[in-house]
């Protein structure tokens, strides 16, 4: 009886948890950048802006993308879900002030930020995670996540060398 009750309770907690999570919206790079562009805390916005990820949408509007699209009978790469899925698009229902033209952005990796973006929540990591901040347990988990896009489904796939690639985009907060 008790186990049954506990199981029910667990299911309830999960359902409530998931529905709260599902309502989190993407707020866009501009919002994250407000607090993440100072040099002394690592200027994550600056690092990202210079990375290929910030160009991922723009790439779909170029000649190389047009040639790939043509060969696949796709009319416009920049509007095609089969290209956008890795070059910037997220679930349309969850878009708040997010702009697909910003490509692979903060929240593509960190999770939709509407509920964790406040200072009080950001400063409390467990609270931020509970509010939808994506948790990366270790380097292996990060690599696995990268490979959800860096894989052979990419028409221009290159071997993904984690250490090399991570070094190019990492945006660590400097130790005081
Ligand atoms: C109101 C200011 C503010 C905004 C807006 C903000 N952050 Fe933060 N964020 C912080 C602060 C401050 C910390 C550092 C927490 C600490 O270490 O005390 C932080 C920490 C983080 C961390 C590291 C968490 C950890 O402890 O490992 C990530 C990841 C992050 N923010 C991502 C984002 C993303 C993505 C957005 C946009 C959706 C965003 N932040 C918006 C202030 C902000
Ligand atoms: C949502 C999909 C997605 C995820 C997740 C993702 N990437 Fe990318 N990445 C891309 C796309 C798309 C490009 C190509 C951008 C362009 O050039 O237009 C790219 C390009 C890059 C490049 C530049 C490669 C080059 O040839 O110069 C590096 C470095 C990189 N990613 C590292 C990473 C790392 C490290 C992770 C995991 C922490 C990661 N990426 C996660 C989609 C993704
Ligand atoms: C391609 C995926 C990707 C993108 C895009 C990205 N991040 Fe991150 N970010 C990561 C990963 C992975 C980590 C490392 C997490 C860890 O070590 O726990 C990280 C770490 C961080 C940290 C914590 C650094 C530390 O030293 O604790 C902050 C803050 C952060 N990101 C903010 C941002 C902001 C702001 C943006 C957008 C301007 C952004 N990130 C874009 C994947 C990404
Ligand atoms: C499974 C994820 C994924 C899908 C789907 C995807 N891409 Fe990409 N794309 C990437 C990644 C990751 C990179 C950067 C590394 C690489 O070349 O694999 C990239 C890079 C590119 C580049 C730059 C290549 C260069 O060397 O300059 C072009 C152009 C491109 N993609 C076009 C497209 C088009 C067009 C589509 C749709 C038909 C598409 N991509 C679908 C992940 C993807």
Tens of pLDDT along 138-171? 999 999 999 999 999 999 999 999 999 999 999 9
Q: Give pLDDT, residue 5.
A: 61
> From ligand 3's centre to the CA of 159, what distance in Å?
22
> From ligand 4's centre to the CA of 30, what distance in Å?
25
Q: What is the maximum span of the chain, computed from C-alpha positions, in angstroms?
A: 65
56: closest CA among 89, 31, 24?
A: 89
> From ligand 1's centre to the CA of 96, what distance in Å?
18
Cα separation, 131 vs 13, in Å, equals: 14
Our answer on whether the CB atom of 41 is closer than 6 Å to any ligand 4 atom is no
Looking at the predicted structure, is the pLDDT value of residue 12 above 60?
no
User: pLDDT digit string (tens) for 50-86?
Assistant: 999 999 999 999 999 999 999 999 999 999 999 999 9
Cα separation, 5 vs 11, in Å, equals: 10
Both structure tokens of 163? 């250490």
Q: What percentage of the chain has pLDDT greater than the value 70?
A: 88
Cα separation, 25 vs 94, in Å, equals: 5
Cα separation, 153 vs 82, in Å, equals: 10
Q: Give pLDDT, residue 11.
A: 59
Q: Give pLDDT, residue 2.
A: 61
Cα separation, 120 vs 123, in Å, equals: 6
């Amino acid at each position: 009886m008790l186990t049954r009750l506990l199981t029910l309770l667990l299911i309830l907690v999960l359902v409530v948890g998931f529905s709260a999570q599902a309502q989190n919206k993407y707020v866009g790079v501009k919002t994250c950048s407000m607090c993440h562009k100072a040099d002394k805390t690592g200027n994550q916005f600056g690092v990202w802006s210079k990375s290929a990820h910030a160009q991922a949408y723009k790439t779909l509007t170029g000649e190389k993308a047009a040639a790939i699209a043509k060969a696949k009978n796709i009319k416009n790469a920049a509007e095609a879900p089969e290209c956008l899925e890795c070059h910037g698009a997220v679930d349309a229902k969850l878009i708040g002030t997010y702009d697909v033209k910003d490509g692979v952005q903060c929240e593509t990796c960190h999770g939709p930020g509407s509920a964790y973006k406040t200072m009080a929540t950001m400063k409390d990591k467990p609270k931020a995670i509970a509010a939808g901040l994506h948790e990366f347990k270790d380097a292996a988990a990060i690599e696995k996540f990268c490979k959800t896009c860096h894989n052979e489904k990419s028409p221009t796939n290159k071997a993904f060398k984690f250490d090399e690639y991570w070094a190019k985009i990492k945006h660590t907060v400097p130790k005081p």
